[in-house]
Amino acid sequence: MSLNEVLDVVFRWAHLIAGIMWIGNSMLFNWLDRNLIKPQGEAGLSQGRIYMVHSGAFYEVEKKLLAPGELPDQLHWFRWQNLSTWLTGIALMVVVYYMNGAAFLIDPKVRAMGQGEAIAISVGSLILAWAVYDLIWRALEKQPLVATLLTFGGLLAAAWAFTQVFSGRAAYIQTGVLIGTIMTGNVWMRILPSQRELIRATKEGRAQDAVLSVRAKHRSIHNNYLTFPLLFIMLSNHFHGLYGHHLNWVLLFGAMFGGAGVRHFMNVRYDGRSNAGWLVPAIVVGVMAVAVFMGVSRIKKAPAVTVSHEVGFARVQEIIVQRCASCHSARPTDAQFTAAPNNVMFDTAEQIHNMVPRIIERAVVSETMPFLNRTQMTATERAEIAAWVAAGAKLQ
């Protein structure tokens, strides 16, 4: 097992654990905010109370402001889960996409560029994204609708731009890292400073600046809505039919918008209003959105080449040996893949025949194999494989 693989496993495992803790805490506190029983006619510092049962006992949770000078000796913060999630995510980005010549980041079919240029674009876009997002919401905090539209427009533009620069898989992950960076910026640049000021004011016997609290709550809500899109992107590298699609940016934004919509439904269902007025149209719109999403995913681009001659197995085997076997064999010759990826091998005719569905999907439909087309499979060769499969994928 190479050092790169060890780092990949360690950082990926740590990223998953930290993400569960961070997102789990975030969702719990948002749930609490929407389910607290507000005090009726009480003049005091309490903002609500809730009783819960778990692990064999009852919990009483109260959200309240503290009177000046009454800060407890022990105060628990929830901040390191976010930072550890972001740092392990950045570490994974470096190990998987920046190292080894940025092989997973650069797709020559999309844009030919060097490792340094690709990494500079990746890192620079993260810094720029936070700066633009933060500027929008600081300048337009009293016009949230305008700020929201600008934010969604910017996110759509970024998703599209990444698919025009990086490989499809990297474009999805880069969008996820961008979202995670914005969320982390919200925590450390806006939410935690407000909490520090709250603690400082309480210690010093001063009133808390309400404006800071409101701004921090707004950013917390933003993070809440970005959670589900980010989780989708974390899993997206398993679905080549999405990131390998020629309309991958449309599918990406549709999935992100849908994830935010689901998060919105989960938020408003606890706000005390009747669901009857909007639930049915929401379901109808949701079904229509899924139908459109599936329709777009089935839009195929016209084949670059078609073949009219008969293609036999001998020709297909020749193509696969030349273009695929350097990775997918019992003894790979590719320097990066020292073992056959996913244990897929094409050493025998039977192995090739057994993998026909995957071959047609990856090499012909999505064109995500060979990996970044490093072995230069031609459009004619893809068409010949398609013709062989259409004729029955016979071995004789």
pLDDT single digits (tens) 160-210: 999 999 999 999 999 999 999 999 999 999 999 988 888 888 888 887 777
- Average pLDDT taken over every residue of the chain: 87
Listed in sequence order, the residues at least 6 apart from 57 whose beta carbon sits closer than 8 Å to its beta carbon are none
Position 40: which residue type? Answer: Q
269: pLDDT strictly greater than 80: no
Question: What's the CA gap between 199 and 202, in Å, rounded?
Answer: 5
What is the gyration radius of the CA atoms in the chain, in angstroms?
A: 26
Number of other residues whose CB lies within 10 A of the CB of residue 208: 17
Task: Give kind and range of the element (H or E) at residue 46.
Answer: strand 46-54
> Residue 117 has what DSSP assignment?
H
Span of 166-180, 277-291, 348-362 with lowest mean pLDDT: 277-291
267 is written with which tokens? Answer: 């938020």
pLDDT of residue 108: 84
Tokens 């539209």, located at residue? 149
Q: Which of 141, 169, 136 is nearest to 155 (CA)?
A: 136
Range picked from 46-50, 83-87, 106-110 for highest mean pLDDT: 83-87
Distance from C-alpha of 105 to C-alpha of 85, rounded to nearest angstrom: 21
53-57, 147-151, 269-273, 330-334: least confident range: 269-273
In this prediction, residue 161 carries a pLDDT of 96
Closest CA to 158 of 182, 132, 125: 125
Q: Give the pLDDT band (50/70/90) at residue 278.
A: low
Distances from the Cα of 183 to the Cα of 18, 34, 156, 197, 295, angstroms? 14, 21, 17, 20, 31
Angle between helix 3-35 and helix 210-235 axes, rounded to 10 deg: 130
pLDDT, tens only, 373-392 = 889 899 999 999 999 998 89
CB 202 within 8 A of CB 147: no
How confident is the model over 48-72, as a mean pLDDT? 88
Tell me the C-alpha distance between 240 and 245, whole Å: 8
Structure confidence at residue 2 (pLDDT): 73
> What are the residue ranges spanned by the domains of the chain?
3-69+77-235, 313-390
- What's the confidence (pLDDT) of residue 286? 65
DSSP code at position 341: G
Q: How confident is the model at residue 270 (pLDDT cuts 50, 70, 90)?
A: low
Closest by CA to 359, choosing from 328, 335, 337, 315, is 328
Contacts of residue 58, Cβ cutoff 8 Å, sequence gap at least 6: 51, 52
**Residue 148 and residue 156: Cα distance in Å, rounded?**
12
Torsion region of 24: left, alpha or beta (phi above 0 gives left; psi -120 to 50 gives alpha): alpha
* Angstrom distances, CA of residue 126 to CA of 111, 155, 164, 183, 253: 19, 12, 16, 12, 18
Is the confidence at residue 315, as pLDDT, over 90? yes
E-only strand ranges, the chain? 46-54, 57-64
Give the pLDDT confidence score for residue 176 in this predicted structure: 95
Query: Tokens 């599209």 — which residue?
Result: 160
Instruction: Return d(Cα 69, Cα 92) in angstroms, integer.
Output: 44
The pLDDT of residue 180: 95
Give pTM, 2 decimals.
Answer: 0.81
